[in-house]
Structure 1
């Protein structure tokens, strides 16, 4: 399944800046960055649960926000791309 992960981490403190780096690193282990705080991830259900748990371990729910959207298939009907950025073909091997 394709999911979209977006987050907003408060960076007013050193701890917040650390959380931001850690959240981005977790997301990079599962997918590709499409904007500064938005990642596309091709995962199965177990990987999604693991990703969610890892992200919830990193964020401070009182200061930060996290959203995970499941993009329903068929992708051709639910995903439109414009501009110079082109997504990685998730059917190929993705090495992180």
Structure 2
């Protein structure tokens, strides 16, 4: 499993751009935890990462949108320092909804 930081900037000046933004956010929510408006922390295996990247590439407009995926060191989310209202999130624990 790999710790990933996914960030995105989707052009939203058009209705199509706002739809893409919602699709990108919903897709990322299916893989990880939102930590800021356009930032997700994701724990994924290689197969899920490739599937996420392929789907994102299909959703975005490659001429205007920007997605960045950072691979963190093993267990990188354990070394997160937060300030303000931010808090460290339990990525590898069971989630109760």
CA shift for structure 1 position 95 = 6.5
Aligned partner of 1:35 in structure 2 is 36
Tell me the alpha carbon deviations over residues 41-91 of structure 1, each in whole angstroms, 9 at most, x when there is no partner: 011111111111111111000010110001112537853223322232112
> Whole-Å Cα distance in 2 between the matches of residues 38 and 16 of structure 1?
18
Aligned partner of 2:9 in structure 1 is 8
Matched, 1:88 2:75: no
Query: What is the TM-score of this pair, normalised by structure 1?
Result: 0.88
> Whole-Å Cα distance in 2 between the matches of residues 9 and 64 of structure 1?
5
Identify unmatched segments of 5+ residues in structure 2. none
> Whole-Å Cα distance in 2 between the matches of residues 30 and 50 of structure 1?
10
**Number of equivalent positions:** 96
Conserved? CA contact 1:71–1:78, under 8 Å: no
